[in-house]
């Protein structure tokens, strides 16, 4: 997810399709950790703020893209949603 360079939604869908269970989701979240997010809609964007993967997905994806991710997760039997 890169605000300035554009988010590659297909890459996100691809990663989600590789998850096999809830434990995979948890491990993916751990591996992602907290990353600095620069939100140009905020006056403090130059400083960035630490966010986790779920928050990043919520900020970067539109409603239809979130639905697609959640559908992929449901199809894989994963109970987590963004």
Better-predicted residue by pLDDT, 82 or 45: 82
Mean local confidence (pLDDT), 19-38: 95
What is the average pLDDT value for the chain, to the nearest integer?
90
What pLDDT, on a 0 to 100 scale, did the predictor assign at position 79?
Answer: 98
What pLDDT, on a 0 to 100 scale, did the predictor assign at position 5?
Answer: 63
pLDDT digits (tens, 9 = 90+) for 31-71: 999 998 887 777 766 778 899 999 999 989 999 999 999 99
35: left (phi over 0), alpha (psi -120 to 50) or beta: beta
């Amino acid at each position: 997810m890169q605000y300035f360079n554009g988010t590659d939604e297909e890459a996100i869908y691809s990663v989600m399709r590789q998850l096999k269970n809830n434990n995979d989701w948890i491990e993916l979240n751990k591996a992602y950790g907290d990353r600095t997010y620069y939100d140009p809609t905020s006056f403090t964007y130059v400083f960035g703020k630490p966010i986790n993967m779920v928050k990043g997905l919520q900020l970067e994806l539109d409603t239809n893209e979130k639905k697609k991710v959640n559908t992929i997760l449901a199809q894989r039997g994963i109970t987590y949603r963004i």
